[in-house]
Amino acid sequence: MSYPGYPPTGYPPFPGYPPAGQESFPPPGQYPYPSGFPPMGGSAYPPAPSGGYPGAGGYPVPGGYPAPGGYPGAPQPGGAPSYPGGQGFGAPPAGAGFSGYPQPPSQSYSGGPTQVPLPGGFPGGHMPSQFPGGQVPYPSQPAAMTQGTQGTIRPAANFDPMRDAEILRKAMKGFGTDEQAIVDVVANRSNDQRQKIKAAFKTMYGKDLIKDLKSELSGNMEELILALFMPPTYYDAWSLRNAMQGAGTQERVLIEILCTRTNQEIREIVRCYQSEFGRDLEKDIRSDTSGHFERLLVSMCQGNRDESQSINHQMAQEDAQRLYQAGEGRLGTDESCFNMILATRSFPQLRATMEAYSTMANRDLLSSVGREFSGYVESGLKTILQCALSRPAFFAERLYYSMKGAGTDDSTLVRIVVTRSEIDLVQIKQMFTQMYQKTLATMIASDTSGDYQKLLLAIVGQ
């Protein structure tokens, strides 16, 4: 299926791509554990300022592709693995965060969901011609989306952590648990406010809120609540650690996090990984992966991508030529050329390069990557390109495939809903409706149940 205006007129869309049976997204239910990126919701919020991250939306989005066939050692649905770093996520007795690890200032979770401005459409007004894995074209981004992005969760006004701690204590006291009271508090507080509730709870009752919640909850609801109570950087570091622990490696989680975060986020994750787990992230990646996939992830964990917003059209032409000569224009593939360009160029620059490539090669770069690469390195390279085109559309697609078909890939659903809830879930919801002619809330409601469903819908908003 070709997208309007891309490839540029005069070139027929490349036929027969993707090859039947080779769509990028395997069926749901096969994505390894750590999930928890909040879905987008609540278009009731006014547009947020576009401060925060530098420039227009050049940052990739978390959310890799579910693994074909699942991962060895992935916990069963509803059996969230134990959380390393202690039950309180490494929080000091009176501290809200994890030990000795400041929150990255640029995330400004406490200051409301302003971050990550999005690109204002594609270079030259063209749309990408093919999005592997989905049969739905990436929609053009509404004008409002170029003004910044919004989360569905905003800091509560008149916030009182001691009052909230008391409500949670009452909800867990005695026989049974008042899950609705827990949902009402957790879904309506920012992550920064949740850290303060955790600290107030310990000060007031001498007990660890996370331990108490774990003893009262189970299954998907437990996984979702614990994800919401982890500071964002810790959650990413924990997810990476969990993906590489034990037998097998959850490569899709590594791709989702490392190929989609900003430089500052990646550097904070690397520091947190070292301070919380006493391990070197790059060394763990090297020992758990190999070949060109290993090189791509090592490149990603340097956090050194160019993040300027200016576009050098001459460089875009040259890069397009080099990529063509490294792939379609020769026998075999020069993988290091793809790695160098996709790991270093800014996202606006990569969009210009994709545009130049389609004009020059009469096919789009995403489909060329699909023909020249396979396996996890293909997924990683495509994730970078897809994020350069549109983060919200990328996450919308990941959410769709986590629920499509029989069964639900709850870990992916949780991870995306939680991690995007204060960043761009509003835009993800808009894209979801545009791409699939149904709302994200409708699909979540039909795929989940009970308190787990109530909490997801409270985060996503209607």
Q: Are 330 and 267 contained in the same domain?
A: no
Burial class (CB in 10 A: 0-12, 13-18, 19+), 109: buried
Cα distance between residue 31 and residue 9, in whole Å: 38
Q: pTM for the whole thing? A: 0.71
DSSP 8-state code for residue 106: G
Confidence category of residue 139, pLDDT binned at 50, 70, 90: low
**HSE-CB of 209 using CA atoms within 13 angstroms:** 36
Neighbours of 170 (CB within 10 A): 11
CATH of the domain at 254: 1.10.220.10
Range of the domain at 194: 150-217
Q: Are 401 and 384 contained in the same domain?
A: no
pLDDT for the residue numbered 106: 38
DSSP output for 36-71: -PPPP--TTSPPPPS-SSSSSS----S---PPTT--
Q: Which two tokens stand for residue 175?
A: 């026989």
Domain-located, residue 18: no
Q: Which two tokens stand for residue 329?
A: 């224009």
Q: Given a cut of 60, is residue 31 above it in pLDDT?
A: no
Confidence category of residue 276, pLDDT binned at 50, 70, 90: very high
Per-residue pLDDT of 310-347, as tens digits, reads 999 999 999 999 999 999 998 889 999 999 999 999 99
Q: Given a cut of 50, is residue 129 above it in pLDDT?
A: no
Among 190, 217, 244, residue at a domain's last position: 217
**HSE-CB of 54 using CA atoms within 13 angstroms:** 13
Give the rounded distance of the alpha carbon of 351 from its chain centre.
20
Q: Given a cut of 90, is residue 171 above it in pLDDT?
A: yes
CB 269 within 8 A of CB 281: yes
Cα distance between residue 249 and residue 157, in whole Å: 42
Per-residue pLDDT of 417-438, as tens digits, reads 999 999 999 999 999 999 999 9
Domain-located, residue 444: yes
Confidence category of residue 89, pLDDT binned at 50, 70, 90: low
Among 162, 192, 217, residue at a domain's last position: 217
Mean pLDDT over all residues of the chain? Answer: 77
Domain-located, residue 4: no
Q: Which two tokens stand for residue 28?
A: 């749901």
Q: Are 373 and 401 contained in the same domain?
A: no
**HSE-CB of 29 using CA atoms within 13 angstroms:** 7
CB 323 within 8 A of CB 341: yes
User: Highest-confidence range of 7-21, 35-49, 57-71, 303-317, by mean pLDDT?
Assistant: 303-317
* Mean pLDDT to the nearest integer, 79-89: 46
Q: Are 157 and 212 contained in the same domain?
A: yes
The residue with greater pLDDT, 105 or 182, is 182
Q: Which two tokens stand for residue 151?
A: 């989360």
pLDDT for the residue numbered 6: 41
* Mean pLDDT to the nearest integer, 292-298: 97
